[in-house]
Amino acid sequence: MRILRSVRHKVCADGSFMKEFLLDVPVTREFFTYLGNFGQVEALPNVGKGFYKFEKPDWFSIKGFAGDTSVEVRFKKEVMDLTVDFVYLLFSTYRGDGDKFDLSVLKRREEAIGERVRKRLYGT
């Protein structure tokens, strides 16, 4: 799955930076399950059938409907420069429903970025 381009972006009232990404294929429920390896995923059927929210605290969140070819990503503005490449990596590494993934490379990258995020946000 690839991000083709950002079709909309804005600074939100809470200080986060939102980008709407257009994808080359529709997102699936299984894609959000895959994202669960890196943060918290929640199905929100009261918003709409097939609506999912992924949250990686202090990094970003991803919201979207299974079956759509666009998602909304909200970045924590203070660390967006550190985390935006990881978003692209999450999408490009996902190969499709039912595929087995070697998450070790992504987990190491996540850990390295996490140290930099913590240092910038909390000085630790």
Residue-wise pLDDT for 36-83, tens only, equals 999 999 999 888 889 999 999 999 999 999 999 999 999 999 999 999
State yes or no: pLDDT of 25 exceeds 90.
yes
What pTM, to 2 d.p., does this model score?
Answer: 0.92
What is d(CA 95, CA 28) in angstroms, rounded to the nearest whole number?
12
Phi/psi at 79 (5° precision):
-125, 10
Average pLDDT estimate for 95-107: 78
What's the pLDDT at 97? 63
- How does the average pLDDT of the chain come out, rounded? 92
Report residue 37 as tokens. Answer: 């390896």
The conformation of residue 79, written as its DSSP 8-state character, comes to G
55/40 Cα distance (integer angstroms): 5
Contact by Cβ (8 Å): 45, 94: no
CB 74, CB 11: distance < 8 Å: no
Tokens 């079956």, located at residue: 67
pLDDT in the model for residue 99: 62
Neighbours of 39 (CB within 10 A): 16
Distance, CA of 77 to CA of 82 (rounded, Å): 10
